[in-house]
Amino acid sequence: MKKYFLFLITILLLTSCEDIIDLELEQNESQLVVDAWLNDQPGPQVIKLRRTIDYLDNSFTPEVTGATITVADINLADSTINQIYVFEDDDNDGDYVWTPTTPGEIMIQEGKDYGLLVDLDGDQYVSLSKANRTIPIDSIGYEFLEDEVGQPDGIYAQIYAKDAVGEGDVYWIKTFKNGSFLNKGQEMNLAYDGAFGPGTNSDGILFISPIRFGINRVADSGDGAIDDGDIPPYAIGDSIRVEIHSLTQEAFFHLFQARTQITQGDNGLFATPINNIPTNIFSQNEDAKESPVGFFCVSKVSSAERTIE
């Protein structure tokens, strides 16, 4: 009986020590976000301007209107401008669009340098990027796998592509399942010379296995559950479209850090603290009202598509 009473007292002591603590986080000034990822695909190109919100704010980021945005094809050797492309926000929603003037007109050309200029409320923000080479996709294969560790049984695909000879080529492999972009943090598939990062002596190789299999959907939890009830990751009749976007070195490490911060909740106690990711958008005015965040990158793209039969 004494042991029973001691047990009750212990439970009461433990439950009575619970206090609800409301954390008061510092309210930071809103910052301009420039989302400018352009490529050589035909059709309109879009640059988005938004403003940051507080970390615990679940609302949509506010759009930024009233800016003037241009992208220029620049010859850095003699600082001359070959052509200027104007982006316009006709819908007043913060999405600034360049529309080709002729069918088949393409803005981004391999090997060229491009400059970005954003003029907002009298302040100017600038950036530079180069269109590096990409590589062709040899093929997309798939097979039924079972008893994979942490993965459900199902049809899994992989991409076959070979890194270009010459060190320092970096890529962003984007996958679309039935037209929908696989955009979870764990699904951000990056390659450096066909491997994960520099210093691996992997130049000119076939993409390593984790990158080849990185075109599959990632389960939402360790039990292999998929949030939309699909047969994971692919089923007969599904279409798979894969694009390989060339990147600059700066863009690769920007995305690498973004992926780390997006997925850091998966690391539990070993997660790294959240911090601002370096940007290549800079204020041209010394007395600019704010320091922008975001990134400007121009890419060459190769693609391939296959349907599961």
pLDDT of 160-200, one tens digit each? 999 999 999 999 999 999 999 999 999 999 999 999 999 88
More confident residue, 44 or 11: 44
**Structure-token match 């050309």, residue found:** 109
Q: Given this model, what pLDDT does residue 24 score?
A: 61
Q: Given this model, what pLDDT does residue 43 score?
A: 94
pLDDT at 305 over 80: yes
> What does the mean pLDDT of the chain come to?
87
Cα–chain-centroid distance for residue 51?
Answer: 18
Q: Given this model, what pLDDT does residue 107 score?
A: 96
Average pLDDT over residues 24-46: 88
Q: Six-digit token pair at 28?
A: 């930071």
Q: Six-digit token pair at 182?
A: 């696989």
CB 296 within 8 A of CB 34: yes
pLDDT at 35 over 60: yes
Instruction: Look at residue 132 and give its three-state secondary structure.
Output: coil
- Residue ranges of the domains in the chain? 32-132+278-300, 139-247
Average pLDDT over residues 299-309: 97
pLDDT at 12 over 70: no
Environment class of residue 224 by beta-carbon count within 10 Å: exposed (0-12), middle (13-18) or buried (19+)?
A: middle
pLDDT at 38 over 80: yes
How would you list the strands of the sheet with 68-75, edge to edge?
Answer: 80-87, 68-75, 113-120, 123-130, 282-283
pLDDT at 130 over 90: yes
Q: How confident is the model at residue 268 (pLDDT cuts 50, 70, 90)?
A: low
Q: Percent of the chain beyond pLDDT 70?
A: 83
Environment class of residue 218 by beta-carbon count within 10 Å: exposed (0-12), middle (13-18) or buried (19+)?
A: middle
Q: Given this model, what pLDDT does residue 304 score?
A: 98
Instruction: State pTM to two decimals.
Output: 0.86
Average pLDDT over residues 122-150: 92
CB 100 within 8 A of CB 40: no
**Structure-token match 């990147």, residue found:** 247
Cα–chain-centroid distance for residue 137?
Answer: 20
pLDDT at 309 over 50: yes
Beta bridge partners of 120: 123
Fold of the domain spanning 32-132+278-300? Immunoglobulin-like (2.60.40)
More confident residue, 77 or 231: 77
Give the separation between CA 213 and CA 206, rounded to whole angstroms: 13
pLDDT at 7 over 80: no
More confident residue, 62 or 152: 62
Q: Given this model, what pLDDT does residue 256 score?
A: 96
